[in-house]
Amino acid sequence: MTTMTTLQPSESRPSPVSSEPAEVLLRVEGIKKRFGDTHVLKGISLTARRGDVITLIGSSGSGKSTFLRCLNLLEQPDGGELEIHGQPVHFTTTRHGRVPQDEKRVQWMRSRVAMVFQNFNLWSHMTLLENIIEAPIHVQGYSRAEAINEARCLLAKVGLEERADHYPSQLSGGQQQRGAIARALAMNPDVMLFDEPTSALDPELVGDVLAVMRRLAEEGRTMVLVTHEMDFARDVSTRIMYLNQGEVEEEGPPQQVLDTPRSNRLRQFLSTR
């Protein structure tokens, strides 16, 4: 996909009548999560097909970040099913709660679903380049030379080719986040998760990070993101889900959800933005 006209990937996707819908990369059903007595997630489902950009919105405490973290099992859901590329993750109940049966399977799954964090979380004892080649070498088994080649391309893509040998502490927040996006891309994941990627940035640095993410969306990357940037969400999303108190209150294409909200709460939420 090289054309720049696909700002609304929903319009460019083939209609289900003429051809098959895009392949399902990530499917979760009825995800539940409890912290103590608080039910943070009360059964949320999501299906991400290739090229989907799904944005989760909602006020703080609505469970959107927890849900996102369940998608690559950084948080273990107490109930529900999870499938990546058609491969289910099986859970088993021990006295420590519900845990995945096969740790190896979970590790493989995590390498297919990359995560970009609010606080970047680049490894501070490694240079930017070392950060990016770490997982390709040690998790995926690429040779150092291959990994470095790929990393240099990715650094160019996020506009940091000059910064390869800098440590995270020598980079601005925006540069660190773009570096973190490059690190996630280096795994060539099926799905990328973004957990409020611009919330920790100074306002003037937000634009660069959003520009990188916008380009990824245009390239047809499958993404699930939590963000408060409503204009951005409107532009790039194929679907928006509004979460309230651990439940999906409303979901649909961005225009529908943002311009003609049906629920009062969503209307209220949008008016405070």
Partner 1 sequence: MLNLHGYGMRLIEGALVTVELAALSLIIAVLLGLVTASAKLSKRRLPHLLATLYTTLIRGVPDLVLMMLFFFGGQVLMNDVSDWLYARFGLDLFINIDAFIAGVLTIGLIFGAYMGETFRGAIQAVDKGQVEAATACGMSRALIFRRIRFPLMMRHALPGLSNNWLVLLKTTALVSVIGLSDMVRVATQASKTTLEPFTFMLFVAVIYLLLTSLSEWVIKRLTRKYNAGFTRGRS
- Which residues bind to partner 1, rule: CB under 8 A? 72, 74, 103, 107-112, 114-115, 117, 119, 121-127, 134-135, 138-139, 167-170, 180, 183, 187
Give me the residues paired with residue 242 across strands: 57, 250
Helix or strand holding residue 114 (H, E): strand 113-116
Least CB distance from residue 95 to partner 1, whole Å?
A: 11
In the complex, the smallest distance separating the C-beta of residue 117 from partner 1, rounded to whole angstroms, is: 6
Using an 8 Å Cβ cutoff, are 63 and 243 in contact? yes
The token pair at 80 is 């529900």
Shortest Å, Cβ 129 to partner 1: 12
- Of 13 and 163, nearer to partner 1 (C-beta) is 163
Q: Which is nearer to partner 1, 133 or 212 (CB)?
A: 133
Task: Tell the smallest beta-carbon distance from residue 184 to partner 1 (Å).
Answer: 8
For partner 1, which is the closer residue by CB, 169 or 271? 169
Evaluate whether 9 touches 221 at the Cβ level (below 8 Å): no
Beta bridge partners of 99: 92
List the Cα angle 36/40/41 in 5-degree steps: 130
Q: Report how far residue 244's alpha carbon sits from residue 266's, in angstroms, rounded to the nearest whole number.
A: 9
CB closer to partner 1, 9 vs 179: 179
